[in-house]
Structure 1
Amino acid sequence: MVMLELDRVCVALGRRQVLSGVSATFGAGALVGIVGPNGAGKSTLARAMLALVPAQGRVLIDSSDVAAMRRDDLARRIAYLPQGQTLHWPLTVERLVGLGRLPHLGPMSRIGPHDAAAIDRAMTRADVLDLRQRVATELSGGERARVLLARALAVEAPTLIADEPLASLDPGHQIDVMDLLRAQAHDGALVIAVLHDLTMAARYCDRLLLIDQGRLVADGTPADVLTNGHLRDVYGIEAEVHLGGAWPTVTPLARSPLTAPSKSM
């Protein structure tokens, strides 16, 4: 059972303090959403969990400091789907998804039957099996996004961090991806997703972290976090919030006359 801990994580990029003292603990079996306005520090927080940016404080996975771990060992523990990836090499989809198995292979090793099965499982779950022989650079934006998700799934790590996994997807595939992320979590993985769509966050996530100007403003269930007060203070909006029933919704209505929008960081 994986455990990921953030202990007073701070990140400065140049002269900007992007994250300030963020602490939280995540356990297996949960889909955790990180929400907040543009420039709040959400993606930086995701990258700090993987030691991809220099940070103060500590990030621990199962009591091991991620900054001190070998990169291949960390890659086996945490799969990462970054946002806005550009593909430069004309690989087939199957070969691209197969790159997710690299943390499990030794030098000069080849893909074996166990790896091939993991690749097939990942492509099936991401609904890209029919694209396996297509050249990845020739795919549409939505197809490419699902293929890159399949690559992350192919790692079969106990933790998955996905940064804006719904970008470039049509509404149907957004639902498919959120269904998949929730299924991964409820099958026992820890899944952390940076999200902008507050309705999707409310419907699918077990827990939300609300980040604003580098600080953790709220941490709890969607009902605890997506309050009118938080939306007004953090996003500077008035919204219609319905979190009861089977289909929670958060509908922005207007800029709040009481607060200015948060400054970008």
Structure 2
Amino acid sequence: MVNISIKGLSVSLGRREVVRRIDANLKPGELVGVIGPNGAGKSTLVRAILGLLPLREGAVHIDGEALTSLAPRDIARRIAYLPQGQTLHWPLTVERLVALGRLPHLGPMSKISAQDQAIVQEAMERADVTHLAGRVATELSGGERARAMLARALAVGAGALVADEPLASLDPGHQIDVMELLLGEARNGKLVVAVLHDLTMAARYCDRLLLVDKGELVAEGAPREVLTAERLRTVYGIRSQFDMTGPAPFVVPLERIREGGD
């Protein structure tokens, strides 16, 4: 399984420093939620961890090996990635789209094997897209497309999964299904990192939260430690009703705190 160590990670986009001096250790067997307001640097952080953005400072190690020493193909075998958004440019069927998840394991000019095909079928079942196998992915609804892309990430069979806003476009039932699936992956020993906006889902399913604001890690820990009234006020600028003590914790935003207000 995969362990990711982050030390002093800073990333700049153009002249703007988007992520500043973040330290974290992401361990196998846990579901880690990355939360924070829009523009906080969450997606930039996870893309940097995957080697998709250059680091301005700091280092990332995967199982003790420096990220910079690993080939992109090697990273792709170890960490499956579900990017934000589901833009598709080719009219592939869902089954062929999901099969793309096996590419990191195939050699040049290799064909998908019976074992690969079995992994693809299992991934489609787990993401609830088996009935869409013959449909053209570009013609799916946003929610169907989101689940197909999740199936592609599952088909990689990596020891870690990084999912950037995996609940976007999903109805409430499928949101629950996806969070249960991600938690199941973690309970089976994988490292799962999910960028989330739904604080109730983050509180209910995540083992640990990283709260990012203005590019900095402002809090880290169990959901009940991170999601406090004061942090929701200062980071998100909201008043909320919440209960972090029961078996089904929840966070309900009530109103935006306007400048000059209480």
TM-score range, shorter chain: over 0.9
DSSP 3-state at the match of 1:156:
coil
Hey, what does 1:53 align to over in structure 2? Answer: 53
Among the aligned pairs, what percent are the same residue?
62
* CA displacement at 1:33 relative to structure 2: 0.2
* CA displacement at 1:255 relative to structure 2: 2.1
* CA displacement at 1:86 relative to structure 2: 1.1
Hey, what does 1:140 align to over in structure 2? Answer: 141
Q: Quick one: distance in 1 between partners of 2:90 and 2:242?
A: 44
Hey, what does 2:21 align to over in structure 1? Answer: 21
DSSP 3-state at the match of 1:60:
strand
1:111-170 Cα distance to aligned partner (Å, 9 max, x none)? 001101110111011010111111111111100000000000000100000000000111
* CA displacement at 1:240 relative to structure 2: 1.2
* CA displacement at 1:253 relative to structure 2: 1.3
Quick check: 1:197 aligned with 2:198?
A: yes
User: Contact 1:240–1:250 (CA<8 Å) still a contact in 2?
Assistant: yes
Hey, what does 1:37 align to over in structure 2? Answer: 37
Normalising to structure 1: TM-score of the pair?
0.96
Q: Quick one: distance in 2 between partners of 1:136 and 1:257?
A: 43
* CA displacement at 1:85 relative to structure 2: 2.7
Hey, what does 1:263 align to over in structure 2? Answer: none
> 1:217-256 residue pairs with structure 2 within 5 A?
217-256=218-257
Q: Quick one: distance in 2 between partners of 1:66 and 1:109?
A: 27
Hey, what does 1:2 align to over in structure 2? Answer: 2
* CA displacement at 1:258 relative to structure 2: 7.2
User: Contact 1:165–1:195 (CA<8 Å) still a contact in 2?
Assistant: yes
Q: Quick one: distance in 1 between partners of 2:259 and 2:12?
A: 30
DSSP 3-state at the match of 1:238:
strand
Hey, what does 1:96 align to over in structure 2? Answer: 97
* CA displacement at 1:68 relative to structure 2: 2.2
* CA displacement at 1:87 relative to structure 2: 0.9
Q: Quick one: distance in 1 between partners of 2:148 and 2:42?
A: 23
Q: Quick one: distance in 2 between partners of 1:230 and 1:258?
A: 16
Q: Quick one: distance in 2 between partners of 1:227 and 1:121?
A: 39
* CA displacement at 1:15 relative to structure 2: 1.2
Q: Residue type of the partner of 1:33?
A: G
Structure 2: tracts of 5 or more residues without a match: none
Q: Which deviates more, 6-15 or 238-247?
A: 238-247
Root-mean-square deviation over aligned CA pairs: 1.2
Quick check: 1:71 aligned with 2:76?
A: no
Q: Which deviates more, 240-249 or 194-203?
A: 240-249
User: Contact 1:185–1:191 (CA<8 Å) still a contact in 2?
Assistant: yes
* CA displacement at 1:67 relative to structure 2: 2.4
- C-alpha change, 1:160 and 1:14, in structure 2 (3 Å) is same
User: Contact 2:4–2:26 (CA<8 Å) still a contact in 1?
Assistant: yes
User: Contact 1:240–1:251 (CA<8 Å) still a contact in 2?
Assistant: yes
Q: Quick one: distance in 2 between partners of 1:139 and 1:164?
A: 18
Q: Quick one: distance in 1 between partners of 2:248 and 2:23?
A: 30
Q: Quick one: distance in 1 between partners of 2:75 and 2:218?
A: 28
> 1:249-264 residue pairs with structure 2 within 5 A?
249-256=250-257
Provide the aligned length of Structure 1 versus Structure 2.
260
Q: Residue type of the partner of 2:9?
A: V
Q: Quick one: distance in 1 between partners of 2:257 and 2:137?
A: 43
Query: Would you identify which runs of 4 or more consecutive aligned residues in structure 1 move more than 3 Å?
Result: 257-260
